[in-house]
Amino acid sequence: MPERSPDGDHRFDLIPEVYRDAVESVLIPAADIERKLDEMAAQVDADYADRELLLVGVLKGAIFVMADLTRRLTVSSAMDFMAVSSYGSSTTSSGVVRILKDLDTEIEGRDVLIVEDIVDSGLTLDYLIKNLRSRRPASVEVLALLTKPSRREVELPIAYVGFEVPDVFVVGYGLDFDEDYRGLRDVVTLKHEVYGG
């Protein structure tokens, strides 16, 4: 039997023992994420019926959304990845973006869907959208599992949003602190003493 949180409920059941002391609360349980991905995939299927989609995942955080979304889609979809560095500190981004890994494929004339785990200031995505549009794709849209609207510094068109989250430091389902916690199935907040927030 998995151990329970101090108040005896099941919220911490999916969190491996080694991480439990660091977790403050489960913000979005895995089951809610699964349901939301079902909905988002159905919307994408409807919007891209009879078209061929190129999903562009932004490493590393987006790999879980990419995998779980792609397996739900019924439209034809190919995958590619980009890696960017934002020159920010570990918890904020500066808007100065450098491409560490570019796409393997040409996107001219293709329907591109950028897949993100989270949009925070929006600066990374703003750069990516402009960069990809300059390559003359047929379309560029964005799907993000999480968004923090209160942190936004640039207006962005995000076609598919999973959850709006408050301005708190979240990890899990791809999101890291110091490269750890990405594999948690829930999106959780950490105790302040863990990340120094």
CA distances (Å), 122 to each of 1, 2, 41, 86, 142, in order? 42, 38, 23, 11, 11
Residue 56 sits in the site that holds ligand PRP (CB under 6 A): no
Tell which one of 176, 180, 185, 195 touches ligand PRP (CB under 6 A).
Answer: 176
Site size with ligand PRP, rule: CB under 6 A: 17
Q: Which is nearer to ligand PRP, 54 or 65 (CB)?
A: 65
Q: Dihedral sign, CA of 118, 120, 102, 130?
A: positive
Q: How far is CA 171 from the centre of its chain?
A: 11
DSSP structural state of residue 184: -
Among 119, 171, 187, 188, binds ligand PRP (CB under 6 A): 119
Report if residue 147 touches ligand PRP, rule: CB under 6 A: no
Nearer to ligand PRP, 12 or 162 (CB): 162
Residue from the set 27, 66, 115, 121 that interacts with ligand PRP by CB under 6 A: 121
Annotated catalytic residue 120 = yes
- Rounded CA gap, 9 and 12, in Å? 8
